[in-house]
Structure 1
Amino acid sequence: MSKTRKIVRCLLGGCLLVLGIVSAVAAASDEAPAQVAETLKKTYPKLEFQKIFTSPIAGLYEVAAGGKILYFAPKTGHMLAGELWTKDSVNLSKERLGKLMGEKLKLLPLNKAIKIGTGKNTVIEVTDPDCIFCRKGSDFFAQRKDVTRYIFFLPLKMHPQAEQKARYVLSAADPASAYEEVMSGRYDEGPIPFFKDNGVIESHKEATALLGLNGTPNYWINGTFVAGANIKAIERLLK
């Protein structure tokens, strides 16, 4: 065998070895999510989750559940709740959650939302009429003229009057005005005016269930998700 052919064979062998290593790494990074999901179901049968992703840490998986990102180790059965950061100060948990929530926006029935304003910034809100943080956020947006708001109600069980207030707003001839009345606390002490329920609240319940949310408030500012009345974060996104 000539020296040239030997060199070629060595090079080909090296390429095949490298390809084998790359394939093995790819397979490891794409370890069957179905198997992980089955283990998760068996370990935490009461946990309702939407999706599972690989994480940068070997053996640890990202679990999207209840509007949050959890971390599951199938081999040990441990579950972690918290945020995962990179050494460059990137919040991977928030990044993943933002992508998931952003994907779901196109499924929302915006024609069923309460629309307020005609500004250049699109804001989608998920709110509870008796949540003090929701009212804080509502008051902030009420002062701005540069937003178009699409509002969905998610009345929480901890607020016994919230659903009735939401039904009142959605059934009003002018939902935007009724919304401002309720969020200002006008009916906190007195009775809600008589109204004929139009049933729109059901579409709001379906929309928030689709998003996998169980708390308020939540916002999407031009497609970027913000959990809670984080006014500073919202202001940055509006700029």
Structure 2
Amino acid sequence: MTRHLKRSSVIAAALMLGSAAPAFSQTPVEPDLSEVVRSAEAQLHQSFANLQFEDFAPSPVHGPLFQASAGGRILYYAPESDHLLFATIYDKNGVNLTALSQDAAARARFKDLDQSQALLIGPQGAPLVIEFTDPDCPYCRALDRFWAAKAAEGRPVRRQIYFVSGIHPEAASKAEHILCAKDREAAFRATYAGEPPKPLIRCPYGAAQVQAHAQAVKSMGISGTPTLILDGQVISGFSQAEIEAWLARQRPPAQPPP
């Protein structure tokens, strides 16, 4: 009896070990790449049903993506494949997540801007525009004409202007000329209309302000002109549709009592 029990126990143990052995020796099965691609493509069409896609294939980017900021722009880095992406990320509702991150970073840097160093143009109480501009930038000049047209329509803005002087060779001297003038707004208008006087005015105050503006440009990570900050939203270039949309959300400046 005892011998039978012992033999049964040995057989049971052997069966248990035999059934467990494959769990220890089994190697992970790699998923079928074609099935992964089909599943991902199906999810893409489901999440972004309003878009038409002509092609779908694996990306050269592998592994997790990390977000970084350089020169005021949001970038993405994939360390596994060592790729840097200059990209815009949208969620399935069409929200531009990259723009939201960029705007949040710009708002965080607002504290570095000293309004007392800026050139202020426009009536107090009007919607505030933070503007990084270059006297020799054709799109900056077009933007100045746009603001003048809006003011003529009764929709003026208050422009907090910083000069970007590292792109065009004469930008710094023209910015200094404007900042040294007795009537800065008039000098600004004439310069942006392409009619600055010769020789350009120079003064220690203007030169110091140009350097202060250059520091503000660096701290904000501005790399192109014009760049606008409208209620925390960063607009790169003269994007008239975005500016018009922002203006439509503004209330007219309060009128002084009679």
Supply the AA of the counterpart residue of 1:155.
Answer: S
How far is the alpha carbon of 1:76 from its aligned partner?
2.2
Corresponding residue to 1:90 among 91, 95, 113: 95
8 Å contact 1:85–1:91 — kept in the other structure? yes
Which position in structure 2 is the counterpart of 1:143?
149
Q: Structure 1 residue 215: deviation in Å?
A: 1.2
1:211 to 214, 220, 223: 220
The answer to whether the 8 A contact 2:174-2:200 is kept is: no
Q: Give runs of aligned pairs for residues 132-211 of structure 1, distance below 5 A.
A: 132-145=138-151, 146-157=156-167, 159-187=168-196, 191-198=198-205, 199-211=208-220
Shift, 1:178, TM fit = 1.0
8 Å Cα contact 1:165/1:182 also seen in 2? yes
CA separation of 1:176 and 1:58: change in aligned 2, threshold 3 A: farther
Matches within 5 A, 1:41-120: 59-118=64-123, 119-120=125-126
Query: Considering only aligned residues, what root-mean-square deviation do their CA atoms show, in Å?
Result: 1.8
Aligned length: 180
Q: 1:58: how far off?
A: 6.7
Letter of the 1:193 counterpart: L
Distance change (3 Å), C-alpha of 1:194 and 1:166: closer
Q: Deviations over 1:67-123 (max 9, x none)?
A: 211110122211111211112111111111111112212320111111111242110
Of 206, 222, 228, 2:237 maps to 228
How many angstroms apart in 2 are the aligned matches of 1:194 and 1:235?
35
Structure 2 unaligned spans of 5+: 1-61, 249-258
Q: CA deviation at 1:166?
A: 0.7
TM-score for both structures, normalised by structure 1: 0.71
TM-score by length of 2: 0.66
User: Take 1:91 and 1:222, find their aligned partners in 2: how far apart are those partners?
Assistant: 17
Quick one: distance in 2 between partners of 1:58 and 1:97?
Answer: 23
| Counterpart Cα distance in 1 of 2:96 and 2:77 | 18
* CA distance, structure 2, for counterparts of residue 103 and residue 185 of structure 1: 35
Alignment of 1:18-57 (within 5 A): none
1:108/1:234 CA distance change after superposition, 3 Å: same
Cα deviation 1:44-76 (Å, max 9, x = unaligned): xxxxxxxxxxxxx97101111112111101222
Is the Cα contact below 8 Å between 2:180 and 2:202 reproduced in 1?
Answer: yes
What letter is aligned with 1:113?
Answer: A
**Alpha carbons 2:229, 2:235 under 8 Å: kept:** yes
Aligned partner (choices 97, 103, 123) of residue 129 of structure 2: 123
User: What is the rounded CA distance, in whole Å, between the counterparts of 1:197 and 1:172 in structure 2?
Assistant: 12
Larger Rg: 2
The Cα shift of 1:223 comes to 2.9
Q: What amino acid is the match of 2:137?
A: C
Contact 2:173 2:200 in 1 (8 A): no
* Aligned-partner Cα distance in 2 for 1:218–1:66: 12
Q: Is the 8 A contact 1:130 1:162 kept in 2?
A: yes
Cα distance in 2 between the residues matched to 1:121 and 1:137? 16
Deviation at 1:149, TM superposition (A): 0.8
Residues 165 and 192, structure 1, Cα contact 8 Å, conserved in 2 = no
Shift of 1:156: 3.2
